Structure 1
Amino acid sequence: MKENFLGVDVCNYNYDELASLLIQDIEKKKKSFIVAINPEKIMKAQKDEELKKLLNSADYQIPDGIGVILASKLKGGKIKNRVTGIDMMLKLCQVAAAKGKRIFMYGGKPGVAEAAKKELEKQFPGIQIVGTLHGYEKDESVILETINRHQPEILFVALGSPTQEYWIVNHMKKVTPYVFQGVGGSFDVISGNLKRAPEFFQSLGLEWFYRLVKEPWRWKRQLILPMFLVKTLRK
């Protein structure tokens, strides 16, 4: 169920399939790690073998980037739709609320995770977000003890990529959760601190274009997409 782009694996599960697999992993007490893959990460991994190993060490690599979808189509692959990090997080919250699974939110600036928690509790009645901790806590023993004290089954880590992914692989055996997802700036979006692209742009996979219009200085980063497609086709 995985395709490979320039040495980086990507899954072709949709939201429902992946959520079902993750709940099964919790029931089996199996540790699972989700990482979002986009062309920028794949291109960085070409020059960073440690990053490539990190991305491929995940159990589930979700196609969070329209470039991955285009590359799959050009190569005759089966990845048809994006699975974005924030939407996967929201799907997990929805399923966790229905199944009674406990969630912990770690990362972000002080107060952001707590604000996001309140918004999620409004959006998903009955959700069990058992604790939060901001990302500015530096004492590792405090971080691990706080997470373990609350006995969560799902952990969302918002430390920015790839810091959050390195944190997960280095600590997942030391904490109680079974499902781990790095979620970048999702706490900021959910709390309302950061505005997401309108649904029209999301549905067309054009969030990158919306960001470019809002932040023109990002244009150099957007050059990665055509470079990625060309390099993928050559391979």
Structure 2
Amino acid sequence: MTTIAKVKVPLLGVRVSPLRRDELLRHIQEAVLGDRRLIVAGHNLHSVYLWHQLPELRDFYHRAGAVIIDGMPVLALLRFAPSVRTGGVGRAAGASRWSTEHRLGSTDWVDGLVELDAVTRVTTLGGTPEAADAALKHFSSLSRRVVWQTIPADPWQAAELDAVCDRIRRHAPQILLIGMGMPLQERLAVELSQRLDVPVIATVGGALDQLGGVQSLAPRWLGSWGLEWAWRLASDPRRLAGRYLLEPPKLAALLLRRDR
């Protein structure tokens, strides 16, 4: 299993692989060419909260070879750590190393798979049948060289796992993108990595729905300003209010209890 260097994020306790878009795509290309196994994951405040709550999620992130930074707060904490000399908050050594380009959401890099010469077959797993069709139209419009297979999985039925594995084997993809909620997509990533011979498996959350146009896709510049969450919250407040408004203070309280 391929592992890319990770660094620990102050306060949060998780480890990430600070990668730019071109760096992540290069690692994916190398994994495909070398027929090596690589699991790609991402960390934001939602995943960090669940990481502290669920042992199975900690196991998944331990298995993941690349853990990209999928949230500006995670990047900010990586860049600005407590200053040892002053006891206050100051510029850490990593502040000059990690830029906003290291904040990499799934929608920032997934389309780039068509730029990789080694990639000719990709499978996506997730979304309703309508969302899967929309994602297929989007991805197919990017390049005729890459053949995409989209498998709906909303709602997910565990009894269908064997049939899904058979469909994926017939397509023989070099890359499998799993777009579901957490921790279901991570649980499936581990299961499928053990049952299938796919070089690269990546968990991409709602990226498939967003790129297919089923969910609202925030302007990409909002990500570099740390405001993509506000766009998503305004677009779907009923579904995301708990994640963006309630989980951060819960995570802060959890971290305070841990440090006492």
After TM superposition, give the deviation of residue 87 of structure 1 in Å: 1.6
Supply the distance in 1 between the matched residues of 2:245 and 2:40 (Cα, whole angstroms): 24
Match of 2:103 in 1: 82
Runs of 4+ deviating beyond 6 Å:
none
Q: Within 5 Å, which residues of 2 pair with 1:42-81?
A: 42-75=48-81, 76=92, 77=94, 78-80=97-99, 81=102
Query: Is 1:132 matched with 2:155?
Result: no
Write 1 or 2 for the structure with the bigger share of strand. Answer: 1
Stretches of structure 1 that go unaligned for 5 or more consecutive residues are none
Contact 1:101 1:154 in 2 (8 A): no
After superposition, the CA RMSD in angstroms is: 2.5
The amino acid across from 2:8 in the alignment is N
After TM superposition, give the deviation of residue 227 of structure 1 in Å: 6.8
Query: Is 1:222 matched with 2:240?
Result: no
Relative to the length of structure 2, the TM-score reads 0.79
After TM superposition, give the deviation of residue 162 of structure 1 in Å: 1.6
The amino acid across from 1:34 in the alignment is V
Greater CA drift, 201-210 or 59-68:
201-210
Supply the distance in 2 between the matched residues of 1:215 and 1:118 (Cα, whole angstroms): 24
Q: How many residues get paired?
A: 231
Match of 2:141 in 1: 122
Stretches of structure 2 that go unaligned for 5 or more consecutive residues are 82-91
Contact 1:100 1:128 in 2 (8 A): no
* CA pair 150-220 structure 1, distance change in 2 beyond 3 A: closer
* CA pair 154-164 structure 1, distance change in 2 beyond 3 A: same
* CA pair 223-141 structure 1, distance change in 2 beyond 3 A: closer
C-alpha distance after superposition, 1:201-222 (max 9, x if no partner): 2332210122344455627733
* CA pair 162-219 structure 1, distance change in 2 beyond 3 A: closer
After TM superposition, give the deviation of residue 176 of structure 1 in Å: 2.8
Q: What is the DSSP-based 3-state SS (H/G/I as helix, E as strand, rest coil) of the residue aligned with 1:88? A: helix
Query: Is 1:3 matched with 2:7?
Result: yes
Match of 1:207 in 2: 228
* CA pair 219-148 structure 1, distance change in 2 beyond 3 A: closer
Q: Within 5 Å, which residues of 2 pair with 1:6-25?
A: 6-25=12-31
Match of 1:155 in 2: 176
The alignment-based identity, stated in percent, is: 25
C-alpha distance after superposition, 1:99-127 (max 9, x if no partner): 34311112211132232111112123422
* CA pair 110-220 structure 1, distance change in 2 beyond 3 A: closer
After TM superposition, give the deviation of residue 10 of structure 1 in Å: 0.4
Relative to the length of structure 1, the TM-score reads 0.86
Query: Is 1:190 matched with 2:208?
Result: no
Supply the distance in 2 between the matched residues of 1:62 and 1:14 (Cα, whole angstroms): 9
Q: What is the DSSP-based 3-state SS (H/G/I as helix, E as strand, rest coil) of the residue aligned with 1:160? A: coil
Higher Rg: 2
Supply the distance in 1 between the matched residues of 2:173 and 2:197 (Cα, whole angstroms): 6
